[in-house]
Amino acid sequence: MRFNTISRESNLPLIECIADHLRTLGVPLRLSWDDSRRKANLFATLGEGKPGGVILSGHTDTVPWDGQAWTVDPLGADLRTVAGEPRLYGRGSADMKGFIGLVVAQTQAFLDADLPHALHYAFSYDEEVGCFGAQTLLADLAEAGLPKAALPRLCIVGEPTSMVPAIAHKGVARWRCCVKGRAAHSSQTHIAVNAIEAAARLVAGLADMADDFAARGPRYAGFEVPWTTAAVGVIEGGIADNVVPEDCRFHYEFRALPGTDVAALQRRVEDHAASLVPAMQAVDAATGIRFETLCAVPPFQAALDDPAVRLAQQLAGTDRTTLVGFGTEAGLFQSAGIASVVCGPGSITQAHQADEYVSLAQLAQAEAFLQALARHR
C-alpha cells in the first residue's frame, strides 16, 4: 500500500516487488505492458503444467486523493482501532491492495498445498480509468497460445464485496464529446457558433435520458440503483466572458444494466448531435461535433449455479450472493470464456474516500477464504 500507484503514475515498482518475491519462490510469470512501458500487468502461475484452475484477480492502480480531507497518510498503511474495530488505513486498502497483499502472502502456502490444479495471479494496471490493463493481459494470454487444458477455468475478482460473492454488476461506457464552434466577439453572435451552447443542448439531452431511465426504464432488482444511469462528469470550454466560445468538451457515461444495448443509447446521443450540426454549419462549414470513446467496461452477470459462484460461496462459507453497482474486470474475464465471480474484503463505501480503510476482520475473512482455496480439491 505504500507504493504510489495512482492511475496517472507508474505501477512498475509494485509489480517488480511482487515479481521479485514470486521469482524467489520459483513461480513462473509473465509481464504485459502498456504502450509507454510505464505500466505492466503481472500474470503468474502456481503449478505450471497442471490443469487450468483458478485466477485470483486484482488491479494495482488506485484513485487519487487530491483535495480530500485525509487525517492519516494516504500511503501510510496505518493500523488504528476505531470504535473497537481494528482497521488498516490508506489509499487502496479496500480497493484493492488488501486483497492483493493477502494473495501474495499466501503464495508459499499455496505451493506447499500441492494443488491438483493450477492457480494464477492476474494483477493489472489502469482498472480505475477503464479496465485497460486487463484487456492487454487477456490479449497477451491469447497470443501466448496456451494449451486448452492449461487455460484458466474460473476467476475470482477480489473487489470489495464484504466477502459476499457478487454475481452481477453494470457495464460502464464513457465518451468525450468535442464541439467545434466559431469564435467571435460576444457582441457579434450572429456570425458565431457557440460551442458551449451546442454542448449544453447535448448535456440537457443526456439529463433527459437519465430521467427517462429512472422513470420508465427496465429494472434489475438487487442493485442499489436498479436502472441504467447517465451522467456528465467533466466539461470544459470558453476563454473569456466577451468571446463566443469556439470549443467545448465534455465527458459522459452510461452505467448500463446487464443486457442493455449501450450502442443504441450512444446512437441516440449522436443523432441528437447530428440534428444540431446543420444550423452550426450554416454559419461556418468548419464547425461540427465529434465523439471519442474513453472506455467500454462490459457488464457482468453470472448464474447462481455458475461454477465460479459455487466455489466462492463454498470458500466463503455462505449461501448468500449480492449485486454491486461498480464496474470490475469480471465481465472481461467472462467474455474471454472464464467463469467469474467478484468476492473480496472491505466495502465499496470506504473505497475512493478520504481515510479509506479495510477492517482487520474483513482481511481475516479473506485470508480464511484463501486458506480454504489451498485446501480445495
Task: Identify the residue whose cell numbers are 448535456.
Answer: 203
Q: Is 356 a catalytic residue?
A: no
CA distance 286 to 300: 42
Residue of 16, 20, 48, 61 marked catalytic: 61
Q: Is 212 a catalytic residue?
A: no
CA distance 220 to 261: 15
Task: Identify the residue whose cell numbers are 521469482.
Answer: 23
Q: Are 175 and 252 in contact (CB under 8 A)?
A: yes
Residue of 127, 128, 246, 253 marked catalytic: 127
Looking at the chain, list the stretches that DSSP marks H as alpha helix, in order from N- to C-terminal side: 12-24, 98-105, 107-113, 132-144, 195-216, 262-283, 307-316, 330-335, 360-375
Strand partners, 59: 124
Q: Are 76 and 144 in contact (CB under 8 A)?
A: no
CA distance 135 to 333: 9
CA distance 107 to 255: 36
Residues composing the chain = 377
Residues designated catalytic: 61, 127
